[in-house]
């Protein structure tokens, strides 16, 4: 960990012919940036995942239920429209 921290502290870049030291974050072209980003995010995500591991599944299931309700209403309206076109009287059940 000490070695990675030293590498991070020596992060410099050149812009308009001048050299600057990056004081926050990681440079895009820094070779260790992806590994450090993954390590950081795994530390941030761990408590969130422990609290609610199936959040996305819950949202998916709720979306499926809403979609099924929408499809049922759409099919009912389509059926009523076909009957009206044929001249059959349709009663509103709502």
User: Is 93 a domain residue?
Assistant: no
Cα dihedral: 52, 37, 6, 21 (round 10): -130
Segment 1-16, tens digit of pLDDT: 677 677 667 777 788 9
Question: What is the distance between the alpha carbons of residues 3 and 25, in angstroms, rounded to a whole number?
Answer: 17
pLDDT of res. 16: 93
Q: Which domain holds residue 33?
A: 2-51
Indicate whether 9 and 40 sit together in one domain: yes
CA distances from 45 to 23, 35, 38, 42, 55 (A): 24, 15, 10, 5, 13
CB under 8 Å to 14, separation ≥6 — which residues? 20
Verify that 27 and 68 share a domain, yes or no: no
Number of structural domains in the chain: 2
Asked if residue 19 belongs to a domain, the reply is yes
pLDDT at position 56 is 62
* Residue recorded with tokens 């996305």: 56
pLDDT score recorded for residue 87: 72
| pLDDT above 80 for 76 | yes
Supply the pTM of this predicted model. 0.39
In this structure, is residue 8 part of a structural domain?
A: yes
3-state secondary structure (DSSP) of residue 4: helix
In angstroms, what CA-CA distances link 62 with 41, 47, 85? Answer: 28, 24, 35
């Amino acid at each position: 960990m000490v070695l990675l921290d030293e590498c991070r502290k020596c992060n410099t870049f050149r812009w308009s012919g001048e050299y600057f030291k990056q004081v926050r974050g990681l440079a895009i072209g820094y070779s260790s940036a992806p590994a450090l980003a993954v390590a950081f995010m795994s530390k941030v995500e761990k408590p969130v995942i422990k609290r609610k591991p199936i959040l996305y599944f819950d949202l998916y299931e709720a979306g499926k239920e809403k979609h099924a309700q929408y499809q049922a209403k759409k099919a009912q309206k389509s059926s009523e429209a076909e009957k009206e076109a044929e001249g059959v009287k349709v009663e509103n059940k709502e």
